[in-house]
Chain A
C-alpha cells in the first residue's frame, strides 16, 4: 500500500514536471526568442489556458504527499524552509506577471512583466532542480526525522552542505537546460511562423548543454549517493528507465531537425519521465536519504500514514483523477493547433 502511494505521488510529481515544465520553459524562452509585443503575446497565448491547471498538479502532489507521507511532508518542508519560501515568492511573481501583463497597454508595463515572467520562470526551474539534487544527495536528518539547511555553506557536497553545493547546482543547471528545451519544443508546436523557427532553433542549440549536463549529473549522482549504485546493481531491470530517458532525448534532436514538432515534444516528455523514474527507482525505498547515518533516512515505509487512511484515500483518489483526466483531455483538445 505504501509503495502504491509512492507511485501515485511520483506520478503526480512527474505530471507536474512534464506539464508545468513546458510553461516554465516557455518563460525562459520568452525573452530569448520573442522580440515584438505580438510575439510575446503569442508565447503567453501558447500557455494561457493551461498554465494554471498545470500548476494545480504541484498542489495536488503536495496535498497527496501530505496525507500519504505526513512525516516526509513535515520533515522536508520545514528543512527546506528557505528555498521553499523563495519558490513560493517566485510562483506568486510568475502568476501575476502572466495575469497582469495584458491589463494595461503601456511601453513600461508589458516589458516589466515580461522580465518578471522570464526571470521567475528560470529561477523556478533552477530551484526545482536544486531541490531534486538535495533529495538525491540526502540531508542531515536527526532522530526526529527533522533537519534544517541553510541556502549555502562552502559549496562542497560534504556533511556541512547547504541547499546549494556543487552537485545540486549542477542538477539545477541541468534542470534549467531540460526545461528550456521542453518549453522551446512546446513553442515549436504552438507558435506561428518565425517564432516557431526560432523556437526550434533554440531547442536544437539547448539540446547540447542538456545532453552534457545530464551525462555529468548521472556520473555525479552515482558518486554522491551510494544507494543509487546499490539499487541499480541489485535490480538490473532498473536500467530500462535511464535507457528510456536516453532514447527520448535522442528522439528530440532527430525529430526536431526533421520538423516533426509533436514527436519532438513527446520525446522530451519521455526524456523527463525517464529521468524522474530513474531517480525514484534508484532511491527506493528512500524518499529522503540521510547524509549521516543511513538508518535515519526517511523511507516510503517509515514516513507513511497508517494503513486505514491510505486505503480509504484510494476510494476517492482514483475517481477524482479519472475526472481530472476528463477535464484535461477536454481542455487540451479544445486548444489544439497553433495560436495566432
Chain B
C-alpha cells in the first residue's frame, strides 16, 4: 500500500473507533438531563438513581472518547501536514474553540456531576448535568463546523501561493452545510442513546432483574427514540440530502447509483453498482422517486454520473453507495422498531410484550452501524477532495512520513484499540449486570 492510502486508513480507522463513544455520550447527556429533570419535578428518588446509573455508563464512555479523541487532533499535524499548513489558519479556529469552550467546560463539570451530588443541592446538581450536556453538544458543534467547512468551504480567500486565508470568521458558523449536518448528527446521537437505554431496559425486563428501572429505561428510550428516529429522516436527513444535491451533485449521483442522467430518476432500494459497465446490477427501484425526493417533482431531471467529468467522481463509488444504503435501510428499520414500541406503550403492552422486548434488546448495535455508515457516506462522498473544490486529498498528506512508518503506527493503534474495546465491553457488561441499585 502506498503512503497516501495508509494515511487515509489511519485516519478512517481511528476516527471510526473514536466516534463509537461520543455518539453515545452526547445523546446520553441529554437523556440523563431528562431523568434529572423528572427527578426534580416529581421529587421521586427513583429518577435520581436511574440518572446515577447512566452517569456511570457515561463516565466509562466519556473516558474512552477522551483517550481516543486526543489522537484525532494530533493526526491533522502528524499525518496531514500539507493540509494543516494550507488550511490550519481556518479550521484551527474551530478546533481551538472546541478546546477552549467545550473541553474545559465538560471536563470541569463532569467531575462535579459525578462526585458532587452529596455536596450540592438537587438544583445545583441538575445544573452540573446541564453543563456537561452543554459542553458535549458544543464540542459536537465545533467539530461539525470543521467538517462542514471541508465539505463546503466558506469565508476564505486563496492567497498568492495557493494558501487558504480566513477572510470571514462569521461565515464559518453561517455555513449552510453546518446547520443540517449538525442537526442530523446530534439527532443521530440521541437515536443511539435511546436504543442503548431502551435495550438495557428490555434486558432487565426479559431477565426479570431490576424491573422497576427496566420499565423506566424502556419507556424513556422508546419515547426519545420515536421522536429522534423521525427527526432523523425528516427534516434533518432530507435537508442534508438537499445540501448534497446542491453542492456536491456528483456525490448524490454516486450515492444513489445513478450512472445516467434521467428525467424522472428512480430510487434504488437494492442493487450493486458496476462502475466498469456504468450500471446497477440486480436493481430493485422505485420509479421516479429520486426526482420527487430531491426536487418535489416526479419528472425532474436528476444528473447522473455521466453529467460530470470522471475526475470529479468520488473515488470509491461502491463503498459510497453501500454505506449510504446501509444507513438508509437501518434508519428505516430503527424507526419502525421505535414506532412499534410507541404503539405498545400507548396500548399499555410495552413492558409485557416479550417478542417486542427481544427485538428492542437486540437492536442496540444497529444505531452504531447506521451512524458509522452515515459518516462513511459523508466522508467518502467528499472525495476526491479533502476540502471540496479546493484541495485534493492526494495533496494533503504529510510528505515526509513514509508508508512504513504510517503502517507501523496504524498497526499500533489497531492493537491498542482491540484491547480497549475488549476491556470496555467487559466493564459495561459488569455495570449493566450489577444494575442501578448499586449505583452510588
Q: 1/0 contact trace for B79-97 toward A, CB 8 Å?
A: 1011011111111110111
A152 sits at the interface (CB 8 A):
no
A239 sits at the interface (CB 8 A):
no
Chain A residue numbers with a CB within 8 Å of B399 are 78, 144, 146
Q: Establish whether residues A78 and B108, one from each chain, have CB atoms under 8 Å apart when the complex forms.
A: no
Q: A91-B67, A95-B67 are in contact. Are A60 and B78 (CB under 8 A)?
A: no
Q: A53-B111, A81-B398 are in contact. Are A74 and B82 (CB under 8 A)?
A: yes
Q: Establish whether residues A60 and B100, one from each chain, have CB atoms under 8 Å apart when the complex forms.
A: yes
B426 to A, closest residue via Cβ: A104
Q: 1/0 contact trace for A192-235 toward B, CB 8 Å?
A: 00000000000000000000000000000000000000000000
B89 to A, closest residue via Cβ: A305
B394 sits at the interface (CB 8 A):
no
Stretch of B46-54, B163-171, B194-202, B355-363 contacting A (4+ beta carbons < 8 Å): B163-171
Q: Establish whether residues A92 and B416, one from each chain, have CB atoms under 8 Å apart when the complex forms.
A: yes
Give bound CA distance, A146 to B81, whole Å. Answer: 9
Give bound CA distance, A298 to B98, whole Å. Answer: 26
Chain A residue numbers with a CB within 8 Å of B92 are 63-64, 66-68, 70, 73, 305
Q: Establish whether residues A78 and B74, one from each chain, have CB atoms under 8 Å apart when the complex forms.
A: no
Q: Establish whether residues B84 and A70, one from each chain, have CB atoms under 8 Å apart when the complex forms.
A: yes
- Greatest chain A CB density within 10 A among B90, B166, B408 is at B166
Give bound CA distance, A272 to B186, whole Å. Answer: 42
Which residue in A56, A77, A85 is a CB contact (below 8 Å) of B104? A56
Stretch of B58-66, B206-214, B323-331, B345-353 contacting A (4+ beta carbons < 8 Å): B58-66
Give bound CA distance, A50 to B110, whole Å. Answer: 10
Which residue in B77, B109, B409 is a CB contact (below 8 Å) of A73? B77
Chain B residue numbers with a CB within 8 Å of A49 are 111-112, 115
Q: Establish whether residues B111 and A308, one from each chain, have CB atoms under 8 Å apart when the complex forms.
A: no
Chain A residue numbers with a CB within 8 Å of B420 are 92, 96
Give bound CA distance, A156 to B285, whole Å. Answer: 68
Chain B residue numbers with a CB within 8 Å of A158 are none
Which residue in A58, A82, A145 is a CB contact (below 8 Å) of B405? A82
Give bound CA distance, A50 to B98, whole Å. Answer: 19
Give bound CA distance, A99 to B263, whole Å. Answer: 58
A334 sits at the interface (CB 8 A):
yes
Chain A residue numbers with a CB within 8 Å of B85 are 70-71, 73-75, 145
Q: Establish whether residues B99 and A85, one from each chain, have CB atoms under 8 Å apart when the complex forms.
A: no
Chain B residue numbers with a CB within 8 Å of A75 are 81, 85
B105 sits at the interface (CB 8 A):
yes
Chain B residue numbers with a CB within 8 Å of A320 are 97, 100-101
Q: Establish whether residues B103 and A74, one from each chain, have CB atoms under 8 Å apart when the complex forms.
A: no
Query: Would you list which residues of chain B between 340 and 383 have a CB under 8 Å from chain A?
Result: none
A306 sits at the interface (CB 8 A):
yes
Give bound CA distance, A304 to B198, whole Å. Answer: 50
Q: Establish whether residues B427 and A78, one from each chain, have CB atoms under 8 Å apart when the complex forms.
A: no
Chain B residue numbers with a CB within 8 Å of A123 are none
Chain A residue numbers with a CB within 8 Å of B116 are 334
B43 sits at the interface (CB 8 A):
no
B307 sits at the interface (CB 8 A):
no
A111 sits at the interface (CB 8 A):
no
Q: Establish whether residues B67 and A92, one from each chain, have CB atoms under 8 Å apart when the complex forms.
A: yes
Q: A56-B103, A56-B104, A99-B63 are in contact. Are A334 and B119 (CB under 8 A)?
A: yes
B83 to A, closest residue via Cβ: A74
B71 sits at the interface (CB 8 A):
yes
Give bound CA distance, A66 to B70, whole Å. Answer: 14
Chain B residue numbers with a CB within 8 Å of A66 are 73, 76-77, 84, 88, 91-92, 95-96
A148 sits at the interface (CB 8 A):
yes
Q: Establish whether residues B101 and A63, one from each chain, have CB atoms under 8 Å apart when the complex forms.
A: no
B287 sits at the interface (CB 8 A):
no
A240 sits at the interface (CB 8 A):
no
Q: Establish whether residues A53 and B77, one from each chain, have CB atoms under 8 Å apart when the complex forms.
A: no
A324 sits at the interface (CB 8 A):
yes
Give bound CA distance, A75 to B100, whole Å. Answer: 23
Chain B residue numbers with a CB within 8 Å of A324 are 100, 104
B108 to A, closest residue via Cβ: A327
**Shortest distance in angstroms between A307's beta carbon and chain B's nearest beta carbon?**
10
Q: A53-B107, A59-B73 are in contact. Are A331 and B88 (CB under 8 A)?
A: no
B288 sits at the interface (CB 8 A):
no
Q: Establish whether residues B95 and A63, one from each chain, have CB atoms under 8 Å apart when the complex forms.
A: yes
Q: A70-B92, A327-B109 are in contact. Are A62 and B100 (CB under 8 A)?
A: no
Q: Establish whether residues B103 and A316, one from each chain, have CB atoms under 8 Å apart when the complex forms.
A: no
Give bound CA distance, A144 to B398, whole Å. Answer: 12
- Greatest chain A CB density within 10 A among B86, B105, B413 is at B105
**Shortest distance in angstroms between A99's beta carbon and chain B's nearest beta carbon?**
4
B423 sits at the interface (CB 8 A):
yes
**Shortest distance in angstroms between B69's beta carbon and chain A's nearest beta carbon?**
8
Query: Would you list which residues of chain A between 319 and 333 have a CB under 8 Å from chain B?
Result: 320-321, 323-324, 327-328, 330-331
Binding site for B on A (CB under 8 A): 48-50, 52-53, 55-56, 58-60, 62-64, 66-68, 70-71, 73-82, 84-85, 88-89, 91-93, 95-96, 99-100, 103-104, 144-148, 305-306, 308-309, 312-313, 316-317, 320-321, 323-324, 327-328, 330-331, 334
A-B contact pairs, 6 of them (CB 8 A): A49-B115, A53-B107, A74-B81, A74-B398, A309-B169, A324-B100
4 closest residue pairs by CB, A with B: A67-B92, A77-B77, A70-B88, A63-B96
